[in-house]
Chain A
Amino acid sequence: MLPPDPGPLAFLFNWLSGTSWASAIAEGALLFPWIETVHVLCLTLVFGTIAVVDLRLLGWQSTHRPVRVLERELVPVTWAAFAGAALTGFLLFASSAGKYAANPMFQAKMLLLALAGVNMAVFNFGIGRSVGRWGDDIRPPLAARVAGGLSLILWTAIIVVARWIGFSS
């Protein structure tokens, strides 16, 4: 009997971890820890900056500052840090693509990241469009508070399950 078909994704992951640069990350003593260090630096900045915006949307912090000012200051930093985290995260993933893809904590992390993206899109195309009207309010409208609260919960959960990847197989 033939083994079950591993499917196109498994084929892709296999190819990915077989590339010369992915093998170099997996096998070298220094590359993986340094890429991981940059990943940690980037994700602390993602969380540290988006949390300030989320807490403002909740009406809990920075309430005397307009939401738009906070977004203009912080969101570019969040995006830059996220780009760094995504790039380094991809490199780490590639080093053992199949192993990570099969890890339930890694799968949960990808799902939560997608949800954080959906939450952000819903905010940007929904209540976020009228930020000019409510952005000075100490207590933003319910939809904005929900978006801020969800974002805070999702990013916290992302970091928690991410830390668990290394402890589960």
Chain B
Amino acid sequence: MSVVLDQLYASPLSTSIRDAGFIIPAVQSVHILSIGLLFGGALICDLKVLGVWGVPEPLALVYRRFQPWMMAALGALLLSGLVNAIGEPVRVFGNRIFWLKMALLLVACGLTALLGRAMRQNQAPISQISRVMALLSILLWVAIIICGRWIAYVAP
């Protein structure tokens, strides 16, 4: 693994990302703005499912309003994260917190898709399982953001 990462690090693409000093901070800025939109949307959806916040409205409407933005933000997150990782492959791919973050992301995406289906079908009252999923979703996104920040602090 580390040989591959060293090769990637030495590759022209990775080198030019690092050498152009603005690319890494620029993609990290996009990354933070995108997680703001994704986490904001997910939190609003989750809190509406839980029924503990905001003016009640059909969940299908909430879902329809936020789903396109959350998908676009996820796309921007993956793309900006990929550029960042190619620029610093050892610090990212060689980092166990990064892989923990990816595992949590996979679970969060699956959960969001399931919850999205329940919201689209818009059954009222929403099932107990959906509520548990909504609560879990909030915790997962918080954990993902924590992991994201800690990649920088845990040595590869």
Give chain A's interface residues, CB within 8 Å of chain B. Answer: 33, 36-37, 40-41, 43-49, 51-52, 61-62, 64-65, 69, 72-74, 156, 159-160, 163-164, 166-167
Contact = CB atoms under 8 A, between A and B. Distances in A.
Interface of B: 21, 24-26, 28-29, 32-33, 35-41, 43-44, 53-55, 57, 61, 65, 69, 142, 145-146, 148-150, 152-153
B65 A73 contact: no
Given A44-B40, A45-B39, A37 B29 contact: no
Q: Is the interface of A mostly helix, strand, loop or mixed?
A: helix
Contact of B25 (A37, A73, A164): A164
Contacts of B43: 45, 48
Given A37-B149, A74-B44, A160-B29, 14 more contacts: A37-B146, A40-B148, A43-B32, A44-B35, A44-B40, A45-B39, A45-B40, A46-B36, A47-B36, A48-B36, A51-B36, A52-B40, A167-B24, A167-B25
Q: Is the interface of B mostly helix, strand, loop or mixed?
A: helix
A72 B26 CA distance: 33
Given A62-B65, A156-B33, A159-B33, A44 B25 contact: no
